[in-house]
Every structure is written in structure tokens, then in C-alpha cells.
Amino acid sequence: MAVWREIAPSAPGHQQRESLEYFDTQHAQLVSTTALSFCLVGTAMSFVAMLMPGAIASGWIPTALIVHIILGAAALWTWRRRTLLGQACVVGAGLTTLVTITAAVPPAGINFTMGAAICVIAGWGIGSLAISLTATRGGVLAIGAVFVTTEVSCLLLSHSIGIPAENVWGLVGLVTVLWLLCLVFGVWLVSSRGRVIRRIVSIGRAHNLERRASETEAARLRDARLLHDTALATLSILAHSGVGVDAETLRKQAASDRELLARLRRGESPSPRASGQYTLTNTAELQLGETLESVKGRFKGTELDVTWHGSGQLGLAHAKLDAFIHALTECIENVRRHAHVTDAHVTLSDDGTIVRGVVTDAGVGFDPSEIPDSHMGFRQSVVARVEEIGGTVRVFSSPGAGTTVVLEVPK
């Protein structure tokens, strides 16, 4: 019955309100539909009973059919409108049907089928209102008023057609039992609302806790990638005494990373383009050429000569382009650190469906199956980044045979 609908990750309160409003609508529909079902079943049973041979006086069947149809129509109107006027029409149509039934008693007197028709009309036809009224303000008073009116009408009509006193009280008792059945069913439906709402709130709370945990883990991975691609890359160069990087490039990179760490301490969330180069501003308008230039600039002061091939125009949305460039940069950085070569080739292509980047070197190579899952440089900065935007990473390498990494991202 209740459906938890995601509205906005940043607005859990609004999300919960939407879910509760949806449930209230569905619950009210269920209560109204149940009341309609009880009324229509009682009406149908009453008319079927009156069709039994000798049940009613001849000539009354068309009239009985009309009043039963009117009662069913009043129940349908109440189901669609759920108004006080509709409920009053059900009472009026029910009492009219009771009068018609008693008027149609054959000359031989009332029989069992006519008594059954009176009971189901009074107990279910009119008594179905007990289901819907339990969900309304002042429902107890309204139920009491309709119940008393129905029972008094049954007593008066029973006396008018000469039913013996002992049978009258049996008829009234049966009507009361049917009313109680409707009332208990209505109370059960209304009380289920509180149980389901508590469950919705519980699910919403668990959903929000899981969402916050996921956001925290994503932020942790993002920060780890950020440090790996910037400050840790600089520290790695320093640990090797700056081999392969000229002093001026190293100084600029270290100063940039120092500023990055200072801004991280202040709670900012920079988006790095490469080690030593990042921005704290909106890069939605950043052109691909500018992005690639920053990557090319990253390696100009190193011993690695990168040759670029292919398209300079890649039709990716900013978020995908950002992740693609980050992963591509890390692949080139891995060549510089581990391949033991002085040149690498990068080929970019866009076939209208998939954007592809291929990084190739003729270095020492490695066994891809031996890369541990905890390896931040490749598993997180390359594979995880590309997979998060729906792409794939393929590695072709073996010891002594060089390495080719293929990054593919759907547009």
C-alpha cells in the first residue's frame, strides 16, 4: 500500500511527507472501496433472496429491482465523492429499500427469504457506512445515529407486517451482528494506518542513514583520490629526489598542493584536474582543449614525452568528462612512474556513441591480475572513476611486453 518515492536526496523531510501523503490517499481509497464492497454484496444478496419463488407478492419485482439499483448507485456515488451527502443518500436509499421489501410481503406473510433480505440490507447495505465513518471526525456519533435509525426502522417495519415479537428480536439481533462485523472491520482498517505510518517512518529513517553512510563513503573515496592525484604524487617525486622532474616544475607543483591542503582544511571541496592543478570554481563551461592542455602541461616538465593522437573534441557531459580526464591522467602518471620508458602514446576518439581513450607504452609491463583491490592508483583513480560514470576499463599487458589501457565511456 505504501510506496516510498525518492524526491530529492537533499530533502529527506520532503521525501517523507510525500510518502505519507501518498499512503493517506491510498488508505482512504481502501476504506471507501471496502465499504462499497460490503454495500454492494448486501444489496445483491437481498435482491437474489427476493427472486426466490413465492418470496414477494406478484408485481413487486420491478419496484424491488429499481430500489436496489438506487441503493447500489448511492453507494457508488459515496465511493467516488466521499461526502456527507452521499452517505445520507445511502441511508435514505437503504431505508427506502427496507420499506419496499416489507410492502412486498406476500399475502401468506413474511418468510425466511424476506427476513434475510431485510437483514442484509439493514446490516450490510446501510451498515457498510460503519466502515467508512470510522475514518472520519465524529465518526462514533454518526455511526451511533445511523445504527439507531436503522434498528428503530427495522422494529417499526417488523411490527407493521405482523412479525411475532420473538422473531422481531432475532431479526434485530442479526442486524446488530452484521453492523458489528462492519464496525470491527472498519476499526481494524483505520488502526492499520498508524502501524503502516510507523513502518514508513522507520523505513525512511533507515533510508536516510544508509544515504548518509553512502555519501560519507563517497566523500572519503573522493578525498583519497584527490590526495593521491595531487599531494601524494608530489611526495612520491620528492621521495625519489625529484628524478625525472625539473626543479621549477616541482616547486610549482608543491606550492599548488600546499594550497590544496590548506583549502581542504578549511572545508572546501576542490576538483583536481591533475597533480598540482585544481580549481575551486564551477568548471561546467571548461572546454576540452583547456582540459587537455592542463594534462599536457602536467607532463611537460617530466622525462615522459606524451604523443597525442585523434580527436580533440569529445562530446561528454561535464561530470563524465571530468572523471574521464582524471582517469586518463592517472594512466599517464602510471606510465611515468612504473613503465621505465621515456615516451607514451595517447589516442582519443569519439564515434558518436562511445568516447574512448587509449594509453600505450612499450615499457616493462605487468600482470593485471596481480593488482590488489586496495591499490588506490589504479583501482580507485582509474577503474572506479570510469565505472561510476557507466564506463569500462580494459588493460592489456604482460611482463616485458608493454601496456595498453583502454578507457571507454558511453555518451
Least confident window among 59-63, 190-194, 245-249, 345-349: 245-249
Confidence at residue 260, expressed as pLDDT on a 0 to 100 scale: 64
Q: How many CB atoms lie within 10 A of CB 327?
A: 27
Which whole number is the average pLDDT over 64-74? 92
| pLDDT, averaged across the chain | 79
Looking at residue 82, its pLDDT comes to 75
CA distance 24 to 18: 10
In whole angstroms, what is the distance from residue 380 CA to residue 224 CA?
Answer: 9
Q: CA-based Rg of the chain, rounded to a whole angstrom?
A: 39
Q: How far apart are CA 19 and CA 2, in angstroms?
A: 7
What are the grid coordinates assigned to 53, written together?
419463488
Query: pLDDT value at position 286?
Result: 38
CATH 3.30.565.10 boundaries in the chain: 284-411
- For residues 186 and 302, which has the higher predicted lDDT (pLDDT)? 186
pLDDT of residue 14: 54
Kindly state the percentage of the chain with pLDDT values over 70.
75
- CATH classification number, 284-411, choose in 3.30.565.10, 3.50.50.60, 3.40.50.300, 3.40.50.11540: 3.30.565.10
Q: Which of 24-38, 44-58, 178-192, 243-257 is the least confident region?
A: 243-257
Alpha carbon distance 125, 118 (integer Å): 10
Lowest mean pLDDT among 13-17, 256-260, 277-281, 300-304: 277-281
- Strands 392-397 and 354-361, sheet pairing: unpaired
Residue 169 confidence class, pLDDT cut points 50, 70, 90: confident
* Stretch 230-240: mean pLDDT: 62
Alpha helices in 123-164 (DSSP H): 129-133, 139-160
pLDDT at 94: 93
Q: For residues 397 and 81, which has the higher predicted lDDT (pLDDT)?
A: 397
pLDDT for the residue 293: 75
Confidence (pLDDT) at 318: 80
Mean pLDDT in residue range 135-146? 82
